[in-house]
Amino acid sequence: MKQGSYFQILVIIILCLSCKDRYYPGINAPGTGYLVVEGTLNAGNTATSLLLSRTAAVNGGKGITPELNASVAVEGNDNSVKQLIMNAPGNYQNTLELSANNLYRVRIKTSDGKEYLSDFVPVKKTPEIDSIGWKQNEKGMQLYVNTHDPANSTVYYRWDFDETWEINSYYHSSLIYDSASPDADKAGVRPRIFPKEDVFYCWKYGRSSNIYIGNSAKLTSDVIFQQPLNQIPAGDERLSVKYSILLRQYAMDKAAYEFYDLMKKNTESIGDIFGPLPSELRGNIHCTSDPGEPVIGYISATAPTQKRVFISRPDRWPFQQFCETKFVIQNRDSTREAFSSGVFIPIENTTREPRTDGYSASSASCIDCTARGGNLQKPSYWP
C-alpha cells in the first residue's frame, strides 16, 4: 500500500470547489493530527507491515507526518504478544505466526504517552486467485481479477498490487564519452563495455494507490468475475515493452469491507458538486487514553494469496518517444561541448559529407533509460 495514500482523507474535506470564498471546516483535531493506521495482520509467511502516520491540517498542512518511536504489539487472546519493529519512518514490521483458532488485536503506545487498541479480529482464510485478465479499450488497458470461494465463506475481498515494467531506450548506444580513458579516441569517445555499460534496458516499479474491493453478497455463490483493477491509460510507457503485476488478495469481514468502501468513496468519489459528501470514518481502533479521539484505520487479519502475470506490449499500443539525432564533429572541442554535461550522448561513429568524421548523438532520455527513472538491474522474476 502506498505510504500515506488514501488514508489521509481529512485533507480532502475542502468541498467548496464552486464557492468564491475559501472555506475552512471546523475540525477540532489535535495539533499533531489524528493517528492513522494502515495495514493488515499477515498470517502467512511474509512480514506484517503497519504504517503509522498523522493527518495533516486542512488549511496549510505540511503533508504526511510519520509516527515515530511508537511501541506496536500484536496480542492474541491466547496471551501471545509479538512486537513490531520500526524499520523505516512510521513503518513497523515483523513476521507473525497467527493461528486460525485465535483472535488478535493491535496495541499502540505513542511517544506522547497515549495508548490505542484495536478490537480483537479473527484470522480470515483467503481463497486463491483464479486468474488476472485484461482487455484493451479506447481508454487503454483494463485489468481485472477472477476468484471464488468453494466454501462460500469469504464474500468480501480487497486487493492491492506491486507493478513492474520494462522500458527500452529509443537508440542503442555503442559509444560513451570518457575523455580520461586511455581507450578513448582523439575526441574523448570510446566504445561501451557490454553488458556492464549498457543503458538500453531498464525496469521501473510502482504500487497500487487506490482502493480495490469487491463482494459477492448479492450472489448465490461466492464468485468474483472480472472485478476491475487498475486501468493503464492508452500510450502509457508501462506497456511499451512488457508489464507485470503481482496481485495480492485479502479476505475481509463485512465491517472491514464497509470501512474500505466508505474510505473509497471519501477519497476517490469526491471532486464535484454532484459527488457524495464525505463521511466520518470510524474503524475498529480506539484511543484508550482519550475515548473521544478519532482514530483512522481498520485492523483485520488474514493470510493473503497472490498471483503474478506478465503482459507484453499490445498491438497498436500508441506509446511514443520523440527523439532526434544530431551530428557531432570528431574533435575535442565539439565533443566536450556536446557530451560533457550529459545532456547528449554519442550513439555511433558516422560520417557527414564532405567526409567529416563524427558521431550521431541524441538526448540522454532517448539513449540512457536511467534518465527516465529506470533501474538497470533486471528483476530475478523477469523472463
Secondary structure, 3-state, 111-142: CCCCEEEECCEEEEECCCEEEEEEEEECCEEE
Q: pLDDT, tens digit, for every residue of 267-290?
A: 886 655 455 556 677 899 999 999
326 vs 11, residue with greater confidence = 326
Does the N-terminal peptide bond of residue 354 adopt cis geometry, omega within 30 degrees of 0? yes
Across residues 229-248, what is the average pLDDT? 99
Across residues 11-39, what is the average pLDDT? 59
Distance CA 227, CA 57 (A): 35
Across residues 104-119, what is the average pLDDT? 98
* Beta pairing, strands 201-207 & 156-168: antiparallel
Distance CA 168, CA 372 (A): 10
197 vs 30, residue with greater confidence = 197
The predicted pLDDT at position 282 comes to 82
Across residues 177-182, what is the average pLDDT? 98
pLDDT tops 80 at residue 23: no
Place of cell 504504517: 51
Q: Which string of DSSP letters, residue by residue, matches 218-286?
A: TSSS-EEEEEEEEEEETT-GGGSSEEEEEEEEEEE-HHHHHHHHHHHHHHHS-SSTTSPPP-----SEE
* pLDDT confidence band for 177 (50 / 70 / 90): very high
Averaged confidence pLDDT in the chain: 91
The predicted pLDDT at position 19 comes to 43
Q: Domain ranges in the chain?
A: 9-155+216-312, 169-200+321-372
pTM here is 0.88
Q: pLDDT, tens digit, for every residue of 335-366?
A: 999 999 999 999 999 999 888 999 999 999 99
The predicted pLDDT at position 153 comes to 97
Which of 333, 258, 259, 246 has the alpha carbon at shortest distance from 298? 259
